[in-house]
Structure 1
Amino acid sequence: MTDNQAVNNRFGEIAVEMNFVDQKKLDKALVVQKRIFQKTKVSMPIGQILVEMGAITADAYDEILAMQQEIESKIASAVTGEKTPKKKPSGQAAGGGGSALDIRVSRDKLTVTAIIEGEVPATEFSVNDVKVMLHSESILYGIVEDAQIEAFLKGEAGEEQGLVIARGTAPVPDSPPEIKYHFDTDPLKVGTMTENGLMDWKERGTLPQVKEGDLLAEKIPGPPGKEGMDVYGKKIPIPKARDKRFKCGKGVRKSEDGLQVYATMTGFAKCSYVGEISVMPTLHIEGDVCLETGHVTFDGHIEVEGTVEKGYRVKGGSLRANEIRDAQIDIDGEISAANGIFGATIRCGGSIKAGHINNADIVLVGDIAVEKEVVESKIETNGRFLINDGIVIGSTISAKMGITAMDIGTEASKSSELIVGIDQQLERESEAVTAEIRTLKSEREKLPKILENLKEQADRISTRIGEVAQKQDNCMVRQRQLQKALDAEPLKQDDEKLQQTILELKARQEAYDEEVAGLMEQDDAIGQEIAATEAKIDESKARLEELNSRQDQIAEAKKTDRGIAAVKIGGNVYSGTKFTGPHSVLVLQEDLKRVSIVETDKPDHEGLKRWRFELAPFR
């Protein structure tokens, strides 16, 4: 930018800021100025053009010019260090009395605060002085009205902490897109609660059936955001909203623009706990999972008319069986076992409904509902544990979203432990991530030294190859020289000696060749080791970034996705029952009836705020 352009720009900025002209007229004047220059090669001052156009008066021109000259004088003084009247340090001005005026810009450049240090009112300063300070700092946008500045200088504004004298406009981020599903994403409920508070186990909903080509979900973009403007008049870009991306499993496809998801097969649609959309067919087994079927692995829904027998494995999308006995079950979605689960080990990514559970080890993501009883089992869920009309005996139940039961324990049974409000699966993952990070860091610390040693070996081999190659060359040259001498004057007395020397040189040449071949083989092997080590360094770095990102996600989930540390018991709960929450533990010392037990940190009857389990009547 030339000096003339800078002067023009400053004059225009001051004219707009002082409300003598609007930006549209200034832009028009700049276009006129450019055309005049193109035709005459004369740069006409922008102020004169504005006067000629009738956009400003001659008096306004003089006032703007005076303000511009004062600002430029201030800037020149700051550069040269000269002390001239009314020159003030950048951002601060000292008055003739006992006051000083300080201008402070916030870190985000969205607010400017003026602070009077010393005596108030600061009558030695005028509104014009303040504007000169602002303009000299290139603060042009969002300056408050003159009356407000004048009241502040006189001490009439009541601004003890200073006056926000200029305020930018914060940007408005893009609104995140909305995901609209065209099927029921949670069709199989654990049951429906009736008006009298009982569970209707039969009313569970139906699976959403879809056909090939059906629209399953679409992403609807949210309203766009708006740019901001800082106090220097510079645009602040729109913060980008976090995009929501479809996770597609089997049986679906995304549209080319990524905004829709369609079914690629006929079956039932499903949205997993982590948001993956898929369409699954159904595998129907008329009898039992037994010797006749062997282990069962199927991506879709598995219908078993009979029992999953002892010792068999079932892996699939969802499972409905009459009974599950001592089997290993790994299901991504829902599990239903009307007659019960006995001695099984189950991992479930959805919800579970069962008639009985006995001596089972179950980990699931969704809710678990049991009709009759849970005996000597270990259950861990990120959802709710519901046994509204049944009993829990000698079991450990962990339910992040709370427990509702009729009875806990008997007079003669082993005590149960009820853990609520804690995401045990997330805690385990957090520990595993932390351990892997620690191991990776330990391995990464060793890799640079290993790489350095390998490169040193490679350098030594390369040096040795060069030395042997030089000897090879010398040997070959010597052979050619001797052979040439032998060919030039045959049948001499020294011919036999020359031939013997040539044979020795050939033998030496072969030895060199073998050595070079061995060195080259070593060099290739070390080169592969170097490449593998460098790849391991890159891979471990990427893995560490991935693990650190997951650790951050886990930490955020712990803050935002809190559980419900509450147990509701409609019948009896016996002494010795242990309740564990995120912050406290309670062991009952007496039998209780119809009670709600909730962890809280509200002030107790003594006014003390502490985490504890509080008992209240069951409702």
Structure 2
Amino acid sequence: MKENFISVSISPDKMNAYINVSEPKFESESEENYTYTVDEILKVLNQNGVKYGIDLTVLEQIINKKLYNQTIKIAEGDFPVDGIDGRIEIHFEHEVNYKPIILEDGRVDYRNLNLIQSVKKGEKLCTLIQPVPGVEGMNVLGSKVPPREGKLAKLPVGKNVVITEDGNFLVAGLDGHVSYVNGRISVYPTYEVPGDIDNSTGNIEFLGNIVIRGNVLAGFSVKAGGNIEVWGVVEGAVLEAEGDIVIRRGILGNNKAVIKSKGHIAARFIERSYVEAANDIMAEAIMHSTVKCGGSLILEGKNGLLVGGISVVGKELVAKVIGSQMASTTIIEVGVDYQLKEQQKKIKAEIDETK
């Protein structure tokens, strides 16, 4: 009488099954030529619930080569294929490089920053790419294994944009400047001043972007809900922008100019002015000014000069020349969050008032 034993084990995730076939033992010599059969092993696998992914080639090798007393993988399930998340495809340059171009002669080109990207009403701004469905799998027990389905992306709806009827596109709701800020696409109208900001225009306040093709004279103010771009010089004026500020020529502040941006500021030069930006400030030269930025202070080009005044920089300071023996003291603080510092001063002042 022969004694045979076939053990079956299944992995915890039920995606693999293993078999261990013991060497047969016989009571008589007439039974010594006995070998296991395919049907016999399949029956044992079926009794243990293994119904899918059985490798018949391996099974036959176990029998023919008498691969006894060893654990061998006999079945493998099909793993599910996860779906691919949907995504947004943006059709305009949304990663703007605010660093100006350094020309061959060392001068810095602030005229071609392409800060404002114009779009027409109805122009396609982005496309919603639908998720790719997953493919379900099957474990060795013959049970379906569901995939992780791809997630549906959301259109980054901001101001003055429209979702098309099919829900797959975002288009401009009006003619203007497109921006991608804090994960949202918005279109802002652009207000253009063909000449100077002076008595003929008065102070300017606009919810969108402002482009000034001349100078901003002393005593006037320009406030924008978007970006400000000045083609000429800013004198002792006030400029405030929710976005970026670019001054193609420079700032002659005469200790009266106040320039504040919640984005970046770029100017060819800054002289005797107060300049504050939440992100980076870039110039070729800064002289006798108070400069505060949450990002980096970058002085590049032919001069790369920082002389006099106070500079409070959140990240790094890049310059060729800092200070001068012939000029007033140059004070620099690097790695300082100027906004937090001002909040602390305000809180301290309020506490002092209550005493």
Provide the TM-score with structure 2 as the length reference: 0.66
1:313 Cα shift?
6.7
Q: Do residues 173 (structure 1) and 80 (structure 2) align? A: no
Runs of 5+ consecutive residues of structure 2 not aligned to the other structure: 26-35, 341-355
Partner Cα separation in structure 2 for residue 152 and residue 405 of structure 1? 78
Partner SS for 1:248: coil
Q: How does 1:66-105 map to 2 (within 5 A)?
A: 102-105=9-12
1:173 Cα shift?
1.0
Q: Which residue of 2 aligns with 1:211?
A: 120
Asked if structure 1 preserves the Cα contact closer than 8 Å seen for 2:195 and 2:213, the reply is yes
Asked if structure 1 preserves the Cα contact closer than 8 Å seen for 2:278 and 2:293, the reply is yes
Runs of 5+ consecutive residues of structure 1 not aligned to the other structure: 1-85, 87-94, 429-619
Change (3 A) 1:206 1:313: closer
Q: How does 1:434-449 map to 2 (within 5 A)?
A: none
Amino acid at match of 2:284: E
Asked if structure 2 preserves the Cα contact closer than 8 Å seen for 1:141 and 1:168, the reply is no
Partner Cα separation in structure 2 for residue 308 and residue 244 of structure 1? 47
Asked if structure 2 preserves the Cα contact closer than 8 Å seen for 1:248 and 1:276, the reply is yes
Change (3 A) 1:376 1:211: closer
Residues 562-612 of structure 1, C-alpha deviation per residue, up to 9 Å, x if partnerless?
Answer: xxxxxxxxxxxxxxxxxxxxxxxxxxxxxxxxxxxxxxxxxxxxxxxxxxx
Residues 151-189 of structure 1, C-alpha deviation per residue, up to 9 Å, x if partnerless?
Answer: 795367xx8xx74742322223135345141x4445674
Q: Which residue of 1 aligns with 2:163?
A: 254
Q: Which residue of 1 aligns with 2:277?
A: 362
Partner SS for 1:317: coil
Change (3 A) 1:153 1:252: same
Partner SS for 2:46: helix
Q: Which residue of 1 aligns with 2:46?
A: 135
Asked if structure 2 preserves the Cα contact closer than 8 Å seen for 1:250 and 1:279, the reply is yes
Change (3 A) 1:268 1:372: same
Partner Cα separation in structure 2 for residue 204 and residue 345 of structure 1? 19
Partner SS for 1:344: strand
Query: Which one has more relative contact order, counting CA pairs under 8 Å at least 6 apart?
Result: 2
Change (3 A) 1:320 1:253: same
Residues 286-305 of structure 1, C-alpha deviation per residue, up to 9 Å, x if partnerless?
Answer: 44378974572422335373
Partner SS for 1:377: strand
Residues 424-481 of structure 1, C-alpha deviation per residue, up to 9 Å, x if partnerless?
Answer: 79xx8xxxxxxxxxxxxxxxxxxxxxxxxxxxxxxxxxxxxxxxxxxxxxxxxxxxxx
Q: Do residues 395 (structure 1) and 311 (structure 2) align? A: yes
Q: Which residue of 2 aligns with 1:331?
A: 242
Q: Which has the larger radius of gyration?
A: 1
1:395 Cα shift?
2.2
Q: Which residue of 2 aligns with 1:305?
A: 214
Q: Which residue of 1 aligns with 2:251?
A: 340
Partner Cα separation in structure 2 for residue 164 and residue 396 of structure 1? 69
Picking from 293, 311, 327, the partner of 1:379 is: 293
Q: How does 1:32-71 map to 2 (within 5 A)?
A: none
Structure with the larger strand share: 2
1:134 Cα shift?
4.5
1:319 Cα shift?
0.5
Asked if structure 2 preserves the Cα contact closer than 8 Å seen for 1:316 and 1:331, the reply is yes
Asked if structure 1 preserves the Cα contact closer than 8 Å seen for 2:198 and 2:220, the reply is no
Change (3 A) 1:173 1:410: farther
Amino acid at match of 1:406: K
Partner SS for 1:265: coil
1:317 Cα shift?
1.3
Change (3 A) 1:403 1:414: closer
1:320 Cα shift?
1.7
Residues 123-144 of structure 1, C-alpha deviation per residue, up to 9 Å, x if partnerless?
Answer: 3696767655643453433233
Partner SS for 1:395: strand
1:209 Cα shift?
3.3
Change (3 A) 1:145 1:417: farther
Q: Which residue of 2 aligns with 1:269?
A: 178
Partner Cα separation in structure 1 for residue 97 and residue 144 of structure 2? 51
1:199 Cα shift?
4.2
1:336 Cα shift?
0.9
1:379 Cα shift?
1.0
Partner Cα separation in structure 2 for residue 325 and residue 371 of structure 1? 19
Amino acid at match of 1:377: V
Provide the TM-score with structure 1 as the length reference: 0.41
